[in-house]
Structure 1
Amino acid sequence: MAPDRILLGVFGRPHGVRGLVRVQSFTADPAGIAAYGPVSDEAGTRTFLLRVVQRGELPVVAVEGVADRDAAAKLTGTRLYVVRNRLPAPEEDEFYHADLIGLAVEDASGRRIGTVATVNDHGAGAFLEIDTGTQPLLLPFTREAVPVVDLARRRVVIVPPAEVVVPPSADAPEGAAA
């Protein structure tokens, strides 16, 4: 079952002296981070109402109740979440990262490799971090490397590129070839 809150972005560094903050937005349109109403921190204890004042790859936002640079600086690194039901349903072949975390990972023959631990995207494209029980496996999240995402059966099927070495699964019987 997918979590009820989805990560929308992260507060970055302050912008100017009047309490404005840059935000790394994970929405399709970076300025869309303010379109879903109040967002909350990871614990869900603090809420923030955002207003975009400068569009761009890293939008600048005004945060209700934040009026100076020092207050804005204290927000740096705060992860911003929204309740899932405020977001649109993903299109076909689109997924919220939260939907992928925890899915079983299998190779094309059906051998279990591990579990999706997280989905990362640092600008060069998304990749899956797979917990194999031994060492983590990093795999590009492309149609070639991950041809099957089956949310109903809670699994993904991977076809790693030749340069990616798949470690033996901790699930494999001892002495079995991986």
Structure 2
Amino acid sequence: MKRVIVGEIGRPHGVRGLVRLRAFTADPRAIGDYGPLTDEAGTRRFAVTAMPDGIARIEGVTDREQAAKLTGVKLYAERDRLPPPVDPDEFFLCDLEGLPAFSEDGAKLGVVRAVQDHGAGAFLVIDAAAGELLLPFTKAVVPVVDVAGGRVVVVPPAEVVVPPQPGEEAA
């Protein structure tokens, strides 16, 4: 099951177990509606109730010490629990995983394995016949994202040489 990051637990707020919460949802107070939320590994579950001003209550957390242990935990929701994007040109980055990647001339280059973002911008990780490709996720490098059609078109930078997969053409 695909999961999407929807928030991050911040530092404790007060002594009764409340936390600061950074919600990445359109409505920050609705973050608990997509639950139960999990940590990055998917092993811990959290029932979150968002309150005004970026504060939240996490079920079972009753004091500052417990809250402090959760600082920095990223919260994930299952993809199918989130509403579909309103704009057809919008998508979740996890929706790109598994899509075939084609060159502008229609040659299949590989399959998107992951989208990673380490703070300097997102990158597509593509499993290609020649090995793993790591391409910046910019409009210049990825001019076409067609989630409904099940494909992305990539234009690798000039310094990246990508041989097409043998015998594969665009569908």
Residue 8 of structure 1: how far off its partner (Å): 1.9
Identical columns (%)? 51
Residue 67 of structure 1: how far off its partner (Å): 1.7
Which residue number corresponds to residue 98 of structure 1? 94
Alignment TM-score, normalising by the size of structure 1: 0.69
Matches within 5 A, 1:22-171: 22-42=20-40, 44-55=42-53, 59-91=54-86, 92-121=88-117, 126-132=122-128, 134-142=131-139, 144-160=140-156, 165-169=159-163, 171=165
- 1:50–1:151 Cα change, 3 Å: same
SS at structure 2 position matched to 1:14: strand
- 1:31–1:159 Cα change, 3 Å: farther
Which residue number corresponds to residue 176 of structure 1? none
- 1:107–1:33 Cα change, 3 Å: same
SS at structure 1 position matched to 2:66: helix
* Whole-angstrom distance in 1 between the partners of 2:52 and 2:116: 26
- Residues 50-93 of structure 1 show CA distances to partners (whole Å, capped at 9, x for unaligned) of 122354xxx33221211223212332443423243432112301
- 1:105–1:23 Cα change, 3 Å: farther
- 1:37–1:130 Cα change, 3 Å: same
- Residues 114-171 of structure 1 show CA distances to partners (whole Å, capped at 9, x for unaligned) of 33232244666544333445344131243x4322223344320013455xx3243584
SS at structure 1 position matched to 2:70: coil
Alignment TM-score, normalising by the size of structure 2: 0.71
Contact 1:18 1:68 in 2 (8 A): yes
Aligned length: 165
CA-atom RMSD, angstroms?
Answer: 3.2
- 1:14–1:113 Cα change, 3 Å: farther
- Which ranges of structure 2 fall in alignment gaps of 5 or more residues? none
- Which ranges of structure 1 fall in alignment gaps of 5 or more residues? 174-178
